[in-house]
Amino acid sequence: MTDTISNPGPARLRLDRRTVLKGVAASAGLAAAPGFVRYSQAQSAAPIRIGFQCHRTGIGAAYGRWYEKTTNAAVKLINDAGGINGRPVEIIVEDDGTDAKRGAEVVAKFASQHKTDIVYGTLFSHVVTGSAPTAGELKIPYYVVSEGYHVASGKMNRYCLQPGITDVRSQVTSVAPWIAANAGKKVTMIFPDYAFGYDHRDYLPPALKAQGAEVIAQIAIPPTESSFTRYFPQIPAETEVIYHVMVGPAVLTFVKELGEFYGSNRPQLFGFIDSLEAVDINSPGLEFLDGSHFWEGSPRYAQPNDSDAQKVYRAAVGIDDNGAAVGDPKDVSTAAHMFGCWETLYVIKKAMEDSGYKGPEDRAKLIEATEALTEFKEGNEHPQGDKVFNGKNHQCYGHQNISKLEGGKLNVVHRTSIEDGHYEVEADYTTQPL
Partner 1 sequence: MAFGPHLLLATLEGLVTSAVLALMALGLSLVFGVMRVVNVAHGEFFMLGAVLAWWIASLVSGHPAIGFLAALAISPLIVGAVAFAADRLVLRRLNYEPEATIVATIGLLYIIQQLALTFYGPQARPVDAPFTYRILFPWFGYSGYKLSIIATSALLLIFTWFVLTRTRIGLVMRATQYDRETAQAFGIPVGRVYAGVFALGAMLAAIAAVLIVPITQAHYLMGLNPLLLSFIVVIIGGLGSLRGTVVAALLIGVSDGVISAFFSPTLAKIIATLAVAMVLVFRPQGLFGSAAK
Least distance from partner 1 to the Cβ atom of residue 38, Å: 40
Least distance from partner 1 to the Cβ atom of residue 237, Å: 7
**Dihedrals phi, psi of 51, to nearest 5 degrees:** -80, 120
DSSP-derived letter for residue 282 is: T
Dist CA 122 CA 126 (whole Å): 10
Q: Which residues pair with 187 in a beta bridge?
A: 215, 241
Dist CA 240 CA 411 (whole Å): 22
Q: Give, in degrees to the nearest 5, the angle at Cα 202 between 131 and 189.
A: 110
Residues at the contact surface with partner 1, assessed by CB under 8 A: 56-59, 61-62, 64-65, 222, 225-227, 229-233, 237, 249-250, 252-253, 256-257, 260-263, 278, 283-285
Q: Among candidates 104, 185, 96, 203, which has minimal Cα distance to 148?
A: 203
SS3 321: coil
**Dihedrals phi, psi of 103, to nearest 5 degrees:** -55, -45
* Contact partners, residue 167, CB within 8 Å, separation at least 6: 147, 148, 149, 151, 152, 199, 395, 397
Dist CA 167 CA 144 (whole Å): 11
Least distance from partner 1 to the Cβ atom of residue 141, Å: 28
Q: Say how many CA atoms lie within 13 Å of 133 toward its Cβ.
A: 8
* Contact partners, residue 265, CB within 8 Å, separation at least 6: none
Least distance from partner 1 to the Cβ atom of residue 121, Å: 16
257 versus 371: smaller Cβ distance to partner 1: 257
Least distance from partner 1 to the Cβ atom of residue 54, Å: 11
Least distance from partner 1 to the Cβ atom of residue 269, Å: 15
Least distance from partner 1 to the Cβ atom of residue 403, Å: 23
SS3 332: strand
64 versus 340: smaller Cβ distance to partner 1: 64
Dist CA 292 CA 281 (whole Å): 12
Least distance from partner 1 to the Cβ atom of residue 188, Å: 12
Least distance from partner 1 to the Cβ atom of residue 98, Å: 9
Q: Among candidates 383, 354, 384, which has minimal Cα distance to 370?
A: 354
249 versus 379: smaller Cβ distance to partner 1: 249
Q: Which residues pair with 10 in a beta bridge?
A: none
* 25: amino acid identity, one letter: A
- CA end-to-end span of the chain, whole Å? 69
Dist CA 348 CA 146 (whole Å): 16
